[in-house]
Amino acid sequence: MPIAPGSTLGILGGGQLGRMTALAARTLGYKVHALDPDPDCPARSVLDRCLVASFDDVAQAAELASQCDVVTLEIEKISTEALAAAARLAPVRPSADVLAMVQDRGVQKSWLSSNGFPVGPFREVATSAQLLEATRAMGGACFVKSCVGGYDGKGQLRLSGGASPGEGDAGSEAAALFGSLGGQRCVVEQALDLEAELSVLVARSPSGKLAVYPPALNHHRDQILDWSLLPGPLSASVTGQAVQIALDLAVGLRVEGLLVVELFLLRDGRLLINELAPRPHNSYHASEVACATSQFEQAVRAVCDLPLGSTEVVRPAAIVNLLGDVWMDGASPAFEAALEIPGVRLHLYGKRIARPGRKMGHLSATGRTPEEALVAAKLAMARLSSHAGLPLPGR
């Protein structure tokens, strides 16, 4: 049954993804409530009601659901108890089952491999001794990622293999490493030889309708998304395989809402799944300017069981992330200089405090090709710092 415009949407999480989802929901005529531990969360100013509570607050999750016609989420770290409490009072999309599988890297990787989906070599470890053994077994560079709680490269470390520490030191180094990741379960993954990173967004409505977007091509720096192109300039074969994997996952998991699949294209041509996210995703921010339907509107349509929107790319686009580092030299970024470039738009998330590596916003640009859009977005990015404090050209 569709949840018609005019109804109330609840969002667990009020970060930038919640904010942009709320804005899209408002455009469609919904009222929006959200729950977030931060009273100054990015979504706050665009909500009808903001509940300030932690993501494991069962009573407040129930309070949110009691006032909403449907509840969705924008972050994985919602406790399953809170989700279950909400689900007793309103439909929760995606479901607690999907979230439970996705929110733990170890569970997710095991689920993917045991269901026949392609993933790289990995091992789950629960002690520093197992960590040491696993890194040795990988036999080269590897990534160690905590099973719960990591994001934007946090909660993970890249180990460069090669230089083998002295036998006596290896155990204590492993213990220190394990401790630095919180002393909790981790996955150890072989560092893969990447040709490219891509992602695919698929929407699935409760009635089973599907809509898939063309893959985005993503570039990371220091394990954080730096820029992204839509559509990703990829071969027809890679595009076809990636889209099929995403559709198979959405159907197999019976996802209600969005599912984003992050993929690695290896230099040997293989396509492997990196990780899943059952929510809007940074790598599809370009859909707001590139596509007939943005990922945020699509999320609302999917969780409200409305007809899914067209995923057609109307005009290729690129985004470049604005991290807190851009604010770090004390000067305010020269947004005017960036906005002079034709086709460039500024998207700020309303975060008051800039920290290195913190996602504060992004710049988007359109172009005749995705590459042309990226040139414009990067030029805009370069102008932010190089023009700070300088008069604008022609003034």
Candidates 107, 119, 191, 375: give the one binding ligand ADP (CB under 6 A): 191
For 277, the token pair is 């996210």
What DSSP designation does 283 have?
Answer: G
- For position 37 contacting ligand ADP by CB under 6 A, the verdict is no
User: What minimum distance in Å lies between the beta carbon of 206 and ligand ADP?
Assistant: 27
- For position 274 contacting ligand ADP by CB under 6 A, the verdict is yes
User: What minimum distance in Å lies between the beta carbon of 190 and ligand ADP?
Assistant: 6
Q: Is the Cβ–Cβ distance between 126 and 185 less than 8 Å?
A: yes
Question: Which residue's CB is nearer to ligand ADP, number 56 or number 152?
Answer: 152
**In this chain, which stretch among 28-36, 189-197, 333-341, 356-364 interacts with ligand ADP, using CB under 6 A?**
189-197
Sheet containing 186-190: order of strands: 122-125, 186-190, 142-146, 156-159
User: What minimum distance in Å lies between the beta carbon of 103 and ligand ADP?
Assistant: 11
- For the residues of 318-387, what is the DSSP string, one character each? EEEEEEGGGGTTSSPP-HHHHHTSTTEEEEE---S---TT-EEEEEEEE-SSHHHHHHHHHHHHHHHHHT
Site string for ligand ADP, 202-221 (x = CB under 6 A): ------------------x-
User: What minimum distance in Å lies between the beta carbon of 158 and ligand ADP?
Assistant: 7
Rg (C-alpha) for the chain, rounded Å, is: 21
For 213, the token pair is 């977007």
How many C-beta atoms lie closer than 10 Å to residue 392's C-beta? 12
Number of residues located near ligand ADP, criterion CB under 6 A: 17
- For position 262 contacting ligand ADP by CB under 6 A, the verdict is yes
Candidates 13, 15, 94, 150: give the one binding ligand ADP (CB under 6 A): 150
- For the residues of 166-219, what is the DSSP string, one character each? PHHHHHHHHHHHHHHTTSS-EEEEEPP-EEEEEEEEEEE-TT--EEEPPPEEEE
- For position 121 contacting ligand ADP by CB under 6 A, the verdict is no
- For position 120 contacting ligand ADP by CB under 6 A, the verdict is yes
- For position 231 contacting ligand ADP by CB under 6 A, the verdict is no
Place of tokens 């023009």: 387
User: What minimum distance in Å lies between the beta carbon of 308 and ligand ADP?
Assistant: 26
- For position 15 contacting ligand ADP by CB under 6 A, the verdict is no
Of ligand ADP, Mg ion, none, which one sits near residue 231, judging by CB under 5 to 8 A according to partner kind? none
The Cα 141–Cα 138 span in angstroms is 8
**In this chain, which stretch among 49-57, 130-138, 151-159, 336-344 interacts with ligand ADP, using CB under 6 A?**
151-159
For 341, the token pair is 């470039």
Binding footprint of ligand ADP on the chain (CB under 6 A): 120, 143, 145, 150-153, 189, 191-192, 194, 197, 220, 223, 262, 274-275
